[in-house]
């Protein structure tokens, strides 16, 4: 081989080496760009996660507060229902008293009309035991 051929071969090899180096540099630069983009994306995701954690903390506090309010409302409703039950019992007792008074008044009216003597004579086995008020 002549010196010129050696020089051509040497230039071709160096040219290929430089081309491979350029390709490698392009690949490395692309990887660096992707790594930078990945870091930026990671930072954005981290910020979003921080905001979401803060929102979850706020929701948690609000849920705790709501739970306390529900317990308090349950106690108030229970107390209200006990009050209603007490009121119903009082109304029933008043109605019974009114019924007994009405019955007593009705008996007095019947006795004043002279119907008691008739009842004593027909219902009691011994009419002589009829109370003195009826005679």
Q: Among residues 56, 52, 55, which one has the least CA distance to residue 44? A: 52
pLDDT over threshold 70, residue 54: yes
User: Tell me, what's the pLDDT at 135?
Assistant: 46
Distance CA 107, CA 114 (A): 11
pLDDT over threshold 70, residue 130: no
Distance CA 33, CA 98 (A): 95
pLDDT over threshold 80, residue 22: yes
Q: Is 132 helix (H, G, I), strand (E, B) or coil?
A: coil
Q: Which residue has the higher pLDDT, 114 or 20?
A: 20
Distance CA 103, CA 114 (A): 17
Distances in Å between the Cα of 83 and the Cα atoms of 29, 33, 80 are 80, 74, 5
Q: Which residue has the higher pLDDT, 53 or 6?
A: 53
Which of 3-12, 37-46, 60-69, 121-130 shows the lowest mean pLDDT across its residues?
121-130
Cα torsion 29, 32, 38, 41 to 10°: value is -80
Record the tokens describing residue 94, joined without a space. 């008043």
Q: What is the mean pLDDT of residues 4-28?
A: 89
Cβ–Cβ < 8 Å for 130, 117? yes
Tens-place pLDDT, residues 74-125: 999 999 898 888 888 999 999 999 999 998 888 777 776 666 666 666 665 5
User: Tell me, what's the pLDDT at 27?
Assistant: 95
Per-residue b or e along 95-130, where b marks 16 or more CB atoms closer than 10 Å to that residue's CB: eeeeeeeeeeeeeeeebeeeebeeebeeeeeeeeeb
pTM of the shown model? 0.45
Banded model confidence at residue 30, pLDDT cuts 50, 70, 90: very high
């Amino acid at each position: 081989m002549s010196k010129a051929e050696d020089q051509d071969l040497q230039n071709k090899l160096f040219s290929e080496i430089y081309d491979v180096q350029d390709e490698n540099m392009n690949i490395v630069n692309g990887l660096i760009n992707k790594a930078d983009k990945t870091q930026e994306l990671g930072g954005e995701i981290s910020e979003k996660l921080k905001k979401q954690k803060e929102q979850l903390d706020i929701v948690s506090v609000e849920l705790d507060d709501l739970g306390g309010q529900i317990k308090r409302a349950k106690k108030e409703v229970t107390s209200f229902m006990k009050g209603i039950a007490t009121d119903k019992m009082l109304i029933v007792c008043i109605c019974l008293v009114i019924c007994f008074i009405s019955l007593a008044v009705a008996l007095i009216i019947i006795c004043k009309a002279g119907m008691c003597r008739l009842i004593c004579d027909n219902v009691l086995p011994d009419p002589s035991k009829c109370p003195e008020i009826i005679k």
